[in-house]
A and B are shown apart, each in its own frame.
Chain A
């Protein structure tokens, strides 16, 4: 809007127009911050209102004087929230783990090793980045169903592993490691696998951390594939758990307990974000997408 303020600043006293401009900018930013934060406030607020209080407020109150943790107790006792949580942790850890191994090996092959057909295969990999998951999910669903892998972790995890983009990202990073290191290691008789483990991975750790976190976020929030392959509550992930809570958990009207469940499943990612804020934001601007 007011690009003037982007210029080298020479503070002239009494520059009212500039101050007003700044004021408008802060107002706009604060307004959007409120829009972003309000749903979070509302979910925490509702989750500490008691069932009776919530339902007696025809005009919802913006604060509560008698917070309760009963809803959190309900969220863990009347629906298997802990189970959903555990499933999601298992799913996220294993999927991200396998993804890392596959990605590191493939990126190393593309960046460091020479073999016939390398460029052709790489081109094929790149073109796969353009394939929307909606196209392949249909066959995957049929495959997993006919292999009798519905409602198993194997069925959940295997189709979720591959991420061509991360292979590409890591390959770019691996290529920046100087060739001399590799030749020196070769002269010393170091094997490729040892070189990868002792040199490449430590040097490229920031990128590896980035793709790990991005994949973990993706896993934690995944909804479509888990919904297709699980219809047994024992294997629900948090997204599906929330959906099932909404449709037949607590009894439709126990909204405070529902909100407690929402808080519980939102907190891990928010903590992860606050801890790794810089890494996540840098990683996403290098090529994450959502929606």
Chain B
């Protein structure tokens, strides 16, 4: 059949690199004592899951990832909303601002992360730019890259927010632009105050977009990895800054690697966490979102 012929390349690629691996990852996660070199294993069971759930590095990674999610998703969404509302209420220079705000989207996470590292790092030669600012305001220098846990977490959250903002601003600005002008005009005739208009008209009208951003934000933040590598280097366990995805890759590759079974178990645990959170998000949002067709 001609249709299948046209579809063949896509089916081959997807079958080989997505569907087969998807089945295989579950198989791996239940194979105990899998040996990478000889591709053999002792037996099947849930030992891999038990091992991963008891591994202090994994627990640290889960803790880091949750902190990152809880801090960055609300902050970035709120800030993006603020900026987008500001953007849509001005005319001159709007395009310029929009272009500037989108820049982080097209930059290499690893490369710009290095710049953030230098801005925050304290070395024997210099305390770095951010510490200079802190000193100006009378504070003491902190090493944000090799220093205390919360300082490192702060930079990681900041950089994550910096990276995810362009997408959120873009989506929110187009949502705001699509709100029907007539609602505003009607409200204005009634003499409604600006804040009330925002709360009673704008917010409900764009609530589906906000929910979409929160859900994709949660999913994205749970998969955080390269931001952390950019700031703290590849030895994330040593820096106490590993994420769940980082743990998966560390199990697979590098000095601590060679354990695809543990990696698979960890990846599946991550998938279950993300799925659960997404379902909760959808259930909660169903109550609060106004869908208008």
Point out residues on A near B: beta carbons under 8 Å.
1-8, 22, 25-26, 28-29, 32-33, 35-37, 39-40, 42-43, 46, 55, 57-60, 101-103, 105-106, 108-110, 113-116, 118, 121, 125, 128, 131-132, 134-143, 146, 158-159, 161-162, 164, 167, 192, 217, 220-221, 223-224, 227-228, 238-239, 242-243, 246-247, 253, 255, 258-259, 262, 265-266, 269-270, 272-274, 277, 280-281, 284-285, 288-291
Contact = CB atoms under 8 A, between A and B. Distances in A.
A141 B253 contact: yes
Interface of B: 1-4, 6-7, 9-11, 13-14, 17-22, 24-25, 28, 36, 39, 79, 82-83, 85-90, 93, 97-112, 114-116, 118-119, 123, 125-129, 132, 160, 162-167, 170-171, 174, 184-185, 188, 194-195, 197-198, 202, 216, 219-221, 223-227, 229-230, 233-234, 245, 248-249, 252-253, 260, 263-264, 267-268, 270-271, 274
Given A3-B198, A135-B267, A139-B24, A114 B115 contact: no
A42 B86 CA distance: 27
A242 to B, nearest CB: 5
A259 B271 contact: no
Contact of A265 (B22, B108, B234): B108
Q: Which of B28, B102, B114 has the most CB of A within 10 A?
A: B114
A89 to B, nearest CB: 14
A1 B85 contact: yes
Nearest to A159: B17
A165 to B, nearest CB: 12
A42 B1 contact: no
Q: Which of B7, B24, B221 has the most CB of A within 10 A?
A: B7
Contacts of A290: 105, 163-164, 166-167, 220
A235 B38 CA distance: 27
B89 A3 contact: yes
A285 B171 contact: yes
Contacts of B108: 220-221, 238-239, 242, 265-266, 269
